[in-house]
Amino acid sequence: MKKFVKMPKLSANMETGVVVAWNKKPGDSVKKGDVIFEVETDKVVSEVESVEDGVLAEVLCEEGDEVKVDATVAVLECEE
């Protein structure tokens, strides 16, 4: 089953975030709590953890891309 990984709203006034690193690549297995990607905000770089177990199926943006909050950045393939 596909689960969509979204750009999180890391602060109340956040509208976009810059993806600065992918810690996993397509095909990698992901456990709940693993850091999937890193986002730069006004203040710091946030390591965003996965909330699911699965396999990273697809990455939809590149390092350096500025992405709107709630937009899908990756797809996880999870067990039912």
User: Which residues here bind another protein, judged by CB under 8 A?
Assistant: 8, 10-13, 18, 33, 35, 38, 40-49, 51
Query: Which one, 25 or 43, has the nearer CB to another protein?
Result: 43
Query: Which one, 1 or 44, has the nearer CB to another protein?
Result: 44
Measure the CA–CA gap between 60 and 75, rounded to whole angstroms.
8
Query: Which one, 27 or 42, has the nearer CB to another protein?
Result: 42
Measure the CA–CA gap between 17 and 38, rounded to whole angstroms.
10
Distance of closest approach, residue 46 Cβ to another protein, in angstroms: 5
H or E element, residue 38: strand 35-40
Tell me if 33 sits within 8 A of 54, measured CB to CB.
Answer: no
